[in-house]
């Protein structure tokens, strides 16, 4: 089979499209013929060595496709089932062996592209606004990167919960996407100081929560946007890791800081099914709109990473084997 693998850490060019042996499912596993792969910032962190996996490593942690074989002990999946998953390495490939406990069957009417577009980013948006900080009706919320894959989904979910959304973007085109997803006020951080705009809009009271996947370039100002007992939720670092900080900074307002990850919010099968079920159910009903604007052949994973890291993309990036 063809797969994209790294043997060293570095830029996108370290990813090599190569032939590897076909995998075989073991006990409790299923062999999935991958039909769509989700491209995520976590892939770039692993590839660059910021979050280093053991080498050699087949890139990717999100995919969807058709079950072709099941290993012993697997009773709830069969050949032909369309499934999706996240959090299991090795998805940049034509085939992958995945623990059956991490596979979610796609609802009728949705395909593998929907699954690869929704699983990781959709469940991330879900845990952020339902669990890390559970948004309540009337809450003021700041969402950075509002036109990104998670951003567009998170805006929709926060609005569903009754929150008031401020969102930052870099261009007018991205502002229109964020507004289309439901953002109440969009701030062009390339032209405006987002912290000043938020303080002005809230009469100095600040917001209840900031959802920040940007990191280094937004972190300090994000904290300054928080109201009393506000939550700073740093769930990514697209611009790099923030500088070390003195915890005493959080004392001005009794603030909370957390650095969550999806893996800690889908620990059990029940939690995985609940989050994925909500997300995929909302996609099927039309309540949650996916935006897949960028689709590349698997062989062009290098270009997909270059575009993602340039932060010129919007919505979800997919690779198709």
Q: What is the DSSP string of 223-242?
A: HHTEEEEEEEEE---TT-PP
Residue % of the chain over a pLDDT of 90: 98
DSSP 119-165: HHHHHHHHHIIIIIS---TT-EEEESSTTBHHHHHHHHHHHHTT-EE
CA dist., res. 60 & res. 2, Å (int): 14
- Once rounded to an integer, what is the mean pLDDT over residues 227-248? 95
**What homologous superfamily is domain 136-259 in, according to CATH?**
NAD(P)-binding Rossmann-like Domain (3.40.50.720)
User: What is the overall mean pLDDT for the chain?
Assistant: 97
Q: How confident is the model at residue 281 (pLDDT cuts 50, 70, 90)?
A: very high
Q: What pLDDT shows up at residue 293?
A: 86
- Calculate mean pLDDT across residues 133-146: 98
The tokens for 319 are: 């690779």
Task: For 291-315, write each residue's pLDDT tens digit.
Answer: 998 999 999 999 999 999 998 789 9
**Do residues 37 and 60 make contact, with C-beta atoms less than 8 angstroms apart?**
yes
What would the mean pLDDT of 225-240 be, rounded to a whole number?
Answer: 96
Domain ranges of the chain: 2-120+265-320, 136-259
Q: Quick check: 206 pLDDT over 90?
A: yes
User: CA 290, 279, 123 angle in degrees (round to 5)?
Assistant: 95
Q: Which residues contact 158 (CB under 8 A, 6 or more apart)?
A: 129, 135, 141, 143, 165, 182
Q: Do domains 2-120+265-320 and 136-259 have the same CATH topology?
A: no
Examine the pLDDT at 280 and tell me if it is beyond 90: yes
Q: What is the pLDDT of residue 211?
A: 98
How confident is the model over 153-183, as pLDDT tens digits? 999 999 999 999 999 999 999 999 999 999 9
4: β partners: 17
CATH superfamily assigned to domain 2-120+265-320: Medium-chain alcohol dehydrogenases, catalytic domain (3.90.180.10)
């Amino acid at each position: 089979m063809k797969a994209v693998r790294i043997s060293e850490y570095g830029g996108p060019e370290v990813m090599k499209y190569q032939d590897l042996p076909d995998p075989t499912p073991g006990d409790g596993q299923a062999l999935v013929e991958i039909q769509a792969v989700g491209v995520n910032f976590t892939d770039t962190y692993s590839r660059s060595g910021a979050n280093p996996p053991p080498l050699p490593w087949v890139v990717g942690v999100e995919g969807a496709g058709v079950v072709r074989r099941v290993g012993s002990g697997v009773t709830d999946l069969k050949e032909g089932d369309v499934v999706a998953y996240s959090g299991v390495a090795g998805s940049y490939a034509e085939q992958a062996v995945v623990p059956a406990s991490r596979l979610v069957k796609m609802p009728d009417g949705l395909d593998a592209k929907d699954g690869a577009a929704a699983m990781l980013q959709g469940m991330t948006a879900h845990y952020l606004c339902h669990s890390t900080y559970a948004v309540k009706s009337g809450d003021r919320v700041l969402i950075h990167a509002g036109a990104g894959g998670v951003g567009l989904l998170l805006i929709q979910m926060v609005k569903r919960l009754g929150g008031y959304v401020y969102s930052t973007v870099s261009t007018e085109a991205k502002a229109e996407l964020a507004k289309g997803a439901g953002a109440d006020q969009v701030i062009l951080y390339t032209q405006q100081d987002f912290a000043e705009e938020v303080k002005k809009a809230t009469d100095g009271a600040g917001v209840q929560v900031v959802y920040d996947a940007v990191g280094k370039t937004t972190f300090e100002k994000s904290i300054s946007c928080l109201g009393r007992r506000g939550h700073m939720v740093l769930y990514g670092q697209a611009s790099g890791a923030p500088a070390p900080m003195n915890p005493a900074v959080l004392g001005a307002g009794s603030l909370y800081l957390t650095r969550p990850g999806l893996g800690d919010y889908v620990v059990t099968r029940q939690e995985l099914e609940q989050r994925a079920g909500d997300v995929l159910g909302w996609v099927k009903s039309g309540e949650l709109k996916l935006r897949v604007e960028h689709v590349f052949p698997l062989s062009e994973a290098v270009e997909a990473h270059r575009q993602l890291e340039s932060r010129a993309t919007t919505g979800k990036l997919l690779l198709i084997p």
